Amino acid sequence: MTRDAIRLRRVVRTFGAGDATVTALHDLSLSFAAGTFTAVMGPSGSGKSTLLQCAAGLDRPTSGSVLLGDTDLTSLSETRLTRLRRDRIGFVFQAFNLLPTLSAEQNVALPLRLAGRRPARAEVRDTLARVGLSDRAHHRPHEMSGGQQQRVAIARALITRPEVLFGDEPTGALDSMAGRQVLRLLRGMVDDDGQTIVMVTHDPVAASWADRVVFLTDGRVDGELDDPSAEAVVARMTRLEDAPC
Ligand code: ADP
Ligand code: MG
């Protein structure tokens, strides 16, 4: 039986007020099964980042609920939401967001330190090994390639063993070879460790590594594709763009 790792129910997110109100998510309902890899696609401004931020507890919906396992994120106090994000959610960004003065090892250990735990060296080393960077433990971000920096960011997101790993265009700043390495790593985490991953991407090839693609248009789910090939994703995107308004 498949279990949902995360579930959005009738989520609305508006920004601003009065005439200037923007509705980024319109009554959106969506589930992500545990141990699956989902890509979220859609035109710029379609609500992809807002969806990810609401699902990850980085932003709060205006209405509706977000369930992580049995926990409703929208009912949590700010303090408990912060703790949940730290303990149960991983997030990687397009721009890596590593701390420039810290080594790879120190960056990876950071979430544990923030949780008040003294990180075990083996734990940090194992996580760096998982992303293929055992030999970069003492390097600082500027001494590494973009692909290596993103893999450090993934290790940092994984060190707390999060229930869901979110990525907002995690390969968007990488060349195709480094991007492929990151995607292979993400795919392996799903296949080998049962990790749940939700990734926003613009790239049909990146999306083809996922089990499912969810298409957003104007803050609404506008279709899905299972076991996507890059060609099928391109065909689907072209159809959306050609659709009459
Ligand atoms: P995407 O990631 O698909 O490009 P976003 O989720 O960033 O889309 O944005 C969806 C819509 O919400 C856009 O119209 C955007 O301008 C608006 N929006 C997003 N964040 C904010 C914000 N903090 N303040 C005002 N409007 C926002
Ligand atoms: Mg975005």
In the predicted structure, residue 238 carries a pLDDT above the cut 90: no
Which of 26, 40, 50, 59 to mutate for ligand 1's pocket (most ligand atoms within 8 Å of CB)? 50
pLDDT confidence bin for 240, thresholds 50/70/90: low
Q: Give the closest residue to 219 by CA, choosing from 14, 20, 58.
A: 14
pTM metric for this prediction: 0.95
Predicted local distance difference test score (pLDDT) of residue 120: 86
Residue 190 has pLDDT above 70, yes or no: yes
Residue 20: DSSP 8-state: G
What is the domain-level CATH number for residue 110? 3.40.50.300
Question: Rounded to the nearest whole angstrom, what is the distance from the C-alpha of residue 190 to the centroid of ligand 2?
Answer: 23
Q: 193: which DSSP letter?
A: H
Number of domains in the chain: 1
Mean pLDDT value across residues 196-225 = 97
Q: Three-state SS string across 32-98, please?
A: EECCCEEEEECCCCCCHHHHHHHHCCCCCCCEEEEEECCEEHHHCCHHHHHHHHHHHEEEEECCCCC
Which of 15, 21, 221 for mutating ligand 1's site (highest number of atoms within 8 Å of CB)? 15
Cα–Cα distance for residue pair 148/174, rounded to 1 Å: 10
42 within ligand 1 shell (Cβ under 6 A): yes
Strand partners, 89: 164
Tokens 């106090």 -> residue: 77
pLDDT greater than 90 at residue 74: yes
pLDDT at 71: 97
Q: Which atom of ligand 1 is nearest to the CA of 44?
A: 4
Residue whose Cα lies nearest atom 5 of ligand 1: it is 47
| Structure confidence at residue 239 (pLDDT) | 78
CA of 47 to the centre of ligand 2 (A): 7
pLDDT (average), residues 52-71: 97
pLDDT tens for each residue of 90-148: 999 999 999 999 999 999 999 999 888 888 889 999 999 999 999 999 999 999 999 99
- Ligand 1 close to Cβ of residue 114 (< 6 A): no
Residue 174: its pLDDT value, please?
A: 93
Does position 199 have pLDDT exceeding 90, yes or no?
yes
Tokens for 230, please give them.
Answer: 């890059």
The CA 168 to ligand 2 mean position distance, Å, reads: 7
Q: What is the pLDDT of residues 144-185, one digit of tens each?
A: 999 999 999 999 999 999 999 999 999 999 999 999 999 999
For the cut 60, the answer to whether the pLDDT of residue 245 exceeds it is no
Q: Whose CA is nearest to atom 6 of ligand 1?
A: 47
Give the atom of ligand 1 at the shortest distance from the alpha carbon of 42. 3
> Mean of the pLDDT values across residues 183-203?
96
Q: Looking at the CA of 24, name the nearest ligand.
A: 1
Q: Give the pLDDT band (50/70/90) at residue 220.
A: very high
158: containing domain: 4-242
Q: How far apart are CA 98 and CA 219, in angstroms?
A: 30
Give 58 Cα–ligand 2 centroid separation in angstroms: 14
Closest C-alpha to ligand 1, atom 25? 15
